[in-house]
């Protein structure tokens, strides 16, 4: 229940009757047109711009539109858009026979996250295909999947960030019921579900919100046009809207966590920031359901206020993606220093990322041309999510190349090791675990010709700073989408099988060491050996220690080993088992030898 007194938004069913609510603060008349019955249900104006009605006529499966002063539009809080973003809304009953009463998601510091896009994860392009691959995820050691946005977007091909109906699960993926079945199946297998949600902008096609009320403001500009109205007149409409959406995902779909896209683009100077309201609502839902629910943000500000507690007048998010670890890792692995990579010095900055989380914590950024960032001191490691690739970092390359195309197999194994041995929460991107070479390209399926042209031209302009030759694939072409669908037959090929075995062993090792209390940020000291292109990670206490030597150079490197005690090799990324060349003991006559682009983990 919100401060405005609104209990639900859109059309909800209870005991065979429909409760109808829509926000249209400047409308003179509002009716709900039920298309199958050819009837109009008049709504009554209430407080704060809300219109209400109750009806026994409107039932599950019925199609409807709202008429605002005589003009017909889909419901902004529609639960289904079977005919696309321009079609009628459809009534859905979200009741579901859940089997997950006893399921509790893993603690934040135990998560192994696997990011995926439903449309390209399998050849069926839907939730059912994902359910079929749950055994693969379990065998790999994954205990949380992060799903790119599923709110209804134009057409059937989109990353999901062009969604315009935040409550309607994408129809081509299977819709609401199929998504509930997926979450239930994941919980039965012990896998948490994190959903990517977008509260910083709406897509350009099918966005009918301005026809209902002032959901947007001209006070601020964003890369997507007018900013969402979180702090101007009538801002309670969109704030209620977002809070209702969050409650729906947690309560009606049993989602375990939300990843909030680009929160730095949320413009809000209200006394209580929108994210603080999101935190408070989530805390109340946690108390009601007696289960954890995580709030993870993508944030480009290196601002600890997003993670600090509410009592410090901060936003108290549980965790954030940290791109800077990725950027430093990629430059250490050989990425050219251009575009946003030009700010990063490779090994030196990777060492800092291991110990400090933020590479830019108040120092000068040449890319941004300003001093940038805050210190992350005191924030525990699990609150930062790290990766060697994700949908942005792959898909925002001009050709959508994955690491398997850009780097040798040995370097891929080393990069994975660097992520899994970090004191942070690790995340994989779908197909990474077997070294998939299938690209993940940017794709859309708009119907407006001018918009299509604008997207195509914008995609070309996006790579100007990278000075890349050639042109990007056409985002609108179905071939671009089809080229991005994972080929699961690859997992049966020897080289890919070896990479999959390596990732499985690495994840198992990560989980075992975390269980022993190791791999914590407080117990990590990093040695930079710049002349050898290597880092040495010293992890643990006097009772138990881990040492990881990571050689990012193209040369064989040797290190004198004079540590006391009995040391055993836990993992050698260059071992023959994974397709490497090493089959000799790791320490010979007090010296450790590492092959090019390889890592070694030892333990007392």
CATH of the domain at 593: 2.60.40.1180
Closest CA to 435 of 338, 500, 510: 500
Q: What is the DSSP letter of 208?
A: -
What is the reported pLDDT for 256?
A: 98
C-alpha span between 588 and 429 (Å, rounded): 37
Q: What is the DSSP letter of 359?
A: S
Total Cβ atoms within 10 A of residue 24? 22
In a domain, 525, yes or no: yes
> At 75, which CATH number?
2.60.40.10
List the binding residues.
259-264, 323-327, 391-396
In a domain, 569, yes or no: yes
Counting Cβ atoms within 10 Å, is residue 95 exposed (0-12), middle (13-18) or buried (19+)? exposed
Note the pLDDT tens digit of each residue in 461-506.
877 655 566 788 999 999 999 999 999 999 999 999 999 999 999 9
Q: State the total domains in the chain.
A: 2
Note the pLDDT tens digit of each residue in 250-302.
999 999 999 999 999 999 999 999 999 999 999 999 999 999 999 999 999 99
In a domain, 533, yes or no: yes
Domain boundary among 40, 72, 90: 90
Total Cβ atoms within 10 A of residue 170? 27
Characterise 450 by phi-psi region: left (phi > 0), alpha (psi -120 to 50), beta (else): alpha
In a domain, 479, yes or no: no
What is the reported pLDDT for 468?
A: 62
C-alpha span between 27 and 99 (Å, rounded): 43
Q: What beta strand segments (E) does 8-58 contain? A: 10-14, 17-23, 30-34, 39-42, 44-45, 50-55
In a domain, 60, yes or no: yes
| Catalytically annotated residue among 298, 335, 343, 382 | 298
Question: What residue has token string 């070479």?
Answer: 437
In a domain, 540, yes or no: yes
List the binding residues for substrate.
259-264, 323-327, 391-396
Confidence (pTM): 0.97
| Catalytically annotated residue among 196, 232, 256, 261 | 261
Provide the domain limits for residue 85. Answer: 10-90
C-alpha span between 374 and 35 (Å, rounded): 55
Domain boundary among 38, 59, 90: 90
298 an active-site residue?
Answer: yes
Domain boundary among 59, 90, 121: 90
Note the pLDDT tens digit of each residue in 537-570.
999 977 789 999 999 999 999 999 988 888 999 9
């Amino acid at each position: 229940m919100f401060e405005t007194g609104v209990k639900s938004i859109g059309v909800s069913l209870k005991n065979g009757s429909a409760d109808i609510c829509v926000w249209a603060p400047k409308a003179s008349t509002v009716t709900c047109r039920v298309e199958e019955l050819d009837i109009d249900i008049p709504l009554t104006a209430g407080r704060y711009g809300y219109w209400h009605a109750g009806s026994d006529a409107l039932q599950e499966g019925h199609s409807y539109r709202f008429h605002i002063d005589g003009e017909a539009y889909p419901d902004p809080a529609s639960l289904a858009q079977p005919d696309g973003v321009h079609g009628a809304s459809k009534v859905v009953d979200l009741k579901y026979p859940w089997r997950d009463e006893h399921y509790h998601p893993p603690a934040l510091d135990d998560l192994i996250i696997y990011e995926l896009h439903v449309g390209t994860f399998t050849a069926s392009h839907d939730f059912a295909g994902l359910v079929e691959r749950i055994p693969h995820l379990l065998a790999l050691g994954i205990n949380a999947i992060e799903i790119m946005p599923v709110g209804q977007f134009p057409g059937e091909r989109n990353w999901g960030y062009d969604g315009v109906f935040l409550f309607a699960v994408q129809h081509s993926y299977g819709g609401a019921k199929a998504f509930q079945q997926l979450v239930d199946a994941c919980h039965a297998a012990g896998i948490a579900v994190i959903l990517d949600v977008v509260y910083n902008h709406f897509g350009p096609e099918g966005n009918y919100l301005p026809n209902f009320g002032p959901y947007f403001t001209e006070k601020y500009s964003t890369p997507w046009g007018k900013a969402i109205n979180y702090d101007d007149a009538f801002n309670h409409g969109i704030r209620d809207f977002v809070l209702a959406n969050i409650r729906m995902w947690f309560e009606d779909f049993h989602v375990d966590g939300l990843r909030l896209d680009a929160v730095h683009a949320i413009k809000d100077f209200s006394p209580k920031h929108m994210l603080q309201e999101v935190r408070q609502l989530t805390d109340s839902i946690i108390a009601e359901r007696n289960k954890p629910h995580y709030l993870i943000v993508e944030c480009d500000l290196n601002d600890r206020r997003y993670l600090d507690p509410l009592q410090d007048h901060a936003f108290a998010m549980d965790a954030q993606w940290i791109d800077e670890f990725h950027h430093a890792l990629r430059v250490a692995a050989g990425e050219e220093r251009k575009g946003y990579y030009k700010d990063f010095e490779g090994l030196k900055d990777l060492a800092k990322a291991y110990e400090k989380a933020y590479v830019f914590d108040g120092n000068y950024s040449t890319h941004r041309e300003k001093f940038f960032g805050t210190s992350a001191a005191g924030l525990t490691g699990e609150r930062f999510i790290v990766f060697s690739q994700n949908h942005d970092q792959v898909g925002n390359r001009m050709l959508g190349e994955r690491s398997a195309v850009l780097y040798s197999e040995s370097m891929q194994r080393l990069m994975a090791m660097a992520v899994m041995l970090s004191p942070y929460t690790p995340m994989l991107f779908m197909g990474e675990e077997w070294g998939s070479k299938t690209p993940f390209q940017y794709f859309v399926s708009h119907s407006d010709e001018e918009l299509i042209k604008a997207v195509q031209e914008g995609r070309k302009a996006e790579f100007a700073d990278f000075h890349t030759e050639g042109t990007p694939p056409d985002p609108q072409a179905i071939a671009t989408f089809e080229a991005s669908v994972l080929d699961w037959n690859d997992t049966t090929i020897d080289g890919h099988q070896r990479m999959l075995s390596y990732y499985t062993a690495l994840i198992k090792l990560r989980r075992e060491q975390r269980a022993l209390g190791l791999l914590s940020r407080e117990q990590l000291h990093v040695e930079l050996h710049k002349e050898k292109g290597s880092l040495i990670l010293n992890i643990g206490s006097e009772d138990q220690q881990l040492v990881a030597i990571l050689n990012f150079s193209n040369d064989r490197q040797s290190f004198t080993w004079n540590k006391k005690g009995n040391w055993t090799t836990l993992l050698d990324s260059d071992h023959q088992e994974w397709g490497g060349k090493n089959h000799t003991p790791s320490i010979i006559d007090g010296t450790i030898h590492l092959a090019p682009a390889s890592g070694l983990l030892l333990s007392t």
